[in-house]
Amino acid sequence: MATHCPYCALQCGTRLGHDSGGTVVEPSDFPVNDGRLCQKGWTAPALLDVRDRLRHPLVRDAVGRLVPVDWDTALDTVAEKLWRIRDEHGPDALAVFGGGGLTNEKAYLLGKFARLALKTSQIDYNGRFCMSSAAVAGAVAFGLDRGLPFPVGDLGGAEAILLAGANPAETMPPLMQHLEKADCIVVDPRRTKTAERAALHLQPVPGTDLALALGLLHIAVSDGWCDKEYVQERTTGFDAAWRRAVTWWPERVERVTGVPVAEQRAAVRMLGEARRAYVLTGRGAEQHSKGADTAAAFINLALALGLPGVAGSGYGCLTGQGNGQGGREHGQKADQLPGYRMITDSAARAHVAQVWGADPDTLPGPGRSAYELLDALGTDGGPRALLVFGSNPAVSAPNAAHVCDRLASLDLLVVADFVPSDTARMADVVLPVAQWAEEEGTMTNLEGRVLRRRRLHPPPDGVRTDLEVLHGLAVRLGEPADRYPTSPRQVFEELRRASRSGRADYSGISYDRLDAGETLHWPCPETPGGEPHPGTPRLFLDRFAHPDGRARFAEVDHRDPAETTDADHPLYATTGRVLAHYQSGAQTRRVTELHEAAPEPFVEIHPDTAERAGLREGEPARITSARGTAVARVRLVGSMRTDTVFVPFHYPGPGRANLITSTALDPRSRMPEFKVCAVRIEPGTDAS
């Protein structure tokens, strides 16, 4: 059976089947992976049979234990408490937190459920922590946000590629085959697996990527690499952007970032000399309190070089989560409605309300962003109940100890999951739901390609789909049963209508076309009476999505991170991923092969820095910020900056990297500053 990997946004093509040992997987010749899989993809079938798989609803009893109950009891309990809380505190006392791994159908119905059944504005999702900064910058620059506005395969023809804050060698290894022919320039404070393969590694001080991007633009213009004809014919706003970049001469950039002038010039020369070049950003550049401006600055560089909207060149963002693209297009974000429509747009509200059979005036307005929502839980005027679908904020949210306190303060916490995640263990009600090989649906990968997820076998007895859960709760809350279909195909048909004429238009896509093997990238509008629209694999070749057809340079300038080092916290900490694990690790830590590959939290530190702190290889260390302390085992890495330590964020308990991360938010994207905070490091007593 043809389907796709359950993990990252590459959504590698796979084939699932059965043998005497259970479910087996093999890669398919899908364009993004070309017959390859990473370690996570090869072991994905093990998720279907993990020993602690949730198989019955659980409700917390009077003495605090989670005990099995039947589905009617669980759903009745949830609905009754939601009714009471809404009656006492109003609809915004109810909140929903979604996930970037949910199918398009589930993401769509979850947003509809929140706004109609719960009548709340309080919905956001963990994708806010993924590529929201690049989404803001891309929408402003191009008039449309799609992670990659071109197929992944186009990268294979590049001569030079700049990767700013991306480590695909570990986060999405099959992508690396598309980068093999290019001279890669990697911007990263760490010498990652990707940086080791690069032709040039720029290693800035954490939190200074924006200054570096401004400096690269300065060199592009002053050294004659700017494509003046492209800038004049296809863009606006260059003069304002240049007024900022002109002050970032190479020597100043070196003082701020630590990147030598010669390396800055080499990077721009490699891009400028290439006939086909790309600039790609990832979380390392975007998870900052100035992440949207940083992404915009790298877009400025790409525009000055004449790359976006040109065949064989371009700018793109490497989306992280499996459905990070589709998940934000159809209503999980606090400020958006299906089709990538803004919830404050009266025409958008009218269109979606008509599809839903509702009065547009009854739709709530924008709510709190992800961290602001979690931070408000249980407070005066904040939500008193939270429903979590496809996320594990107890591990993945910044300032995690505080977030756990807020979760514990709720009158009702409901978690729908297929394993007892760290968040599920805190819940009042746990609802066991189907996982990837047990459900039908669609996903949208990092190229904007809409894909079919297919069911190999039904979920275990006692397990329901998320669509069935939403249907059951909505009916108990007084909604019409037919407003919440349980058939993914039926939900998708409605999603098509809701997205029609929106920026992310799926109206011309159907299960029949996908099942027939058609390759369809959005926008793919419906064409009544004519030939079916072929989809749009390459955006912006003729014009950008602004009314005048031109891309916008952004006027941005560097500023320090929200938190800088001092005598008490003299080091920078940055976080990221490792090859064996995914997101909060709730899935991959349950797969024996992956757990054995990376069994415990660790901290990478330069040997000289470790010696000054009294640390030795393999010993436990305490990493402390203004918010808390994480405990991890020391790894001495000679390529680390002496002012920086690295901690992966996949682990629970005292090893949670997000016990120390900053809650400073980007003012435009509301992205937390995961990638830089001030810490001290000292010997610890336990790394478990």
| pLDDT tens digits for range 447-476 | 999 999 999 999 999 999 999 999 999 999
- Encoded tokens for 8: 């990252």
For residues 577-581, average pLDDT:
96
Q: Using the Cα atoms of residue 580, residue 585, residue 591 and residue 595 in order, give the sign of their dihedral.
A: positive
Angle at 11 between CA 192 and CA 274, to 5 degrees: 55
Model confidence pLDDT, tens digit, residues 583-642: 999 999 999 999 999 999 999 999 999 999 999 999 999 999 999 999 999 999 999 999
> What is the DSSP secondary-structure string of 614-641?
T--TT-EEEEE-SS-EEEEEEEE-TTS-
Domain ranges of the chain: 2-49, 58-129+323-486, 132-318, 571-683
- Give the pairing type, strands 602-605 and 571-576: unpaired
Q: How far apart are CA 164 and CA 157, in angstroms?
A: 19
Average pLDDT, the chain: 96
pLDDT at residue 687 tops 50: no
Q: Is residue 654 within 8 Å of 630, Cβ to Cβ?
A: yes
- The CATH code of the domain at 132-318 is 3.40.228.10
DSSP 117: I
Task: Say which CATH architecture domain 571-683 belongs to.
Answer: Beta Barrel (2.40)
Q: Report pLDDT digits (tens) over 39-65.
A: 999 999 999 999 999 999 999 999 999
Identify the band that residue 686 occupies on the pLDDT scale cut at 50, 70 and 90: low
- Coil, strand or helix: which one is 259? coil
Largest CA distance in the chain: 74
Mean pLDDT of 227-254: 98
Residue 688 pLDDT exceeds 50? no
3-state secondary structure of 125: strand
Q: What is the pLDDT of residues 154-188, one digit of tens each?
A: 999 999 999 999 999 999 999 999 999 999 999 99
Which uninterrupted H or E stretch holds 111?
helix 104-112
Residues 396-433: pLDDT tens digits? Answer: 999 999 999 999 999 999 999 999 999 999 999 999 99
**Mean pLDDT, to the nearest integer, of 370-374?**
98
- CATH number 3.40.50.10140 is the correct assignment for the domain at 58-129+323-486: no
Mean pLDDT of 221-236: 98
The CATH topology of domain 2-49 is N-terminal domain of TfIIb (2.20.25)
Report pTM: 0.97
Instruction: For residue 530, name the pLDDT band (cuts at 50, 70, 90).
Output: confident
Arithmetic mean of pLDDT, 562-582: 97
Percent of the chain with pLDDT over 90: 97
Do 571-683 and 2-49 have the same topology in CATH? Answer: no
Rg (CA), the chain: 24
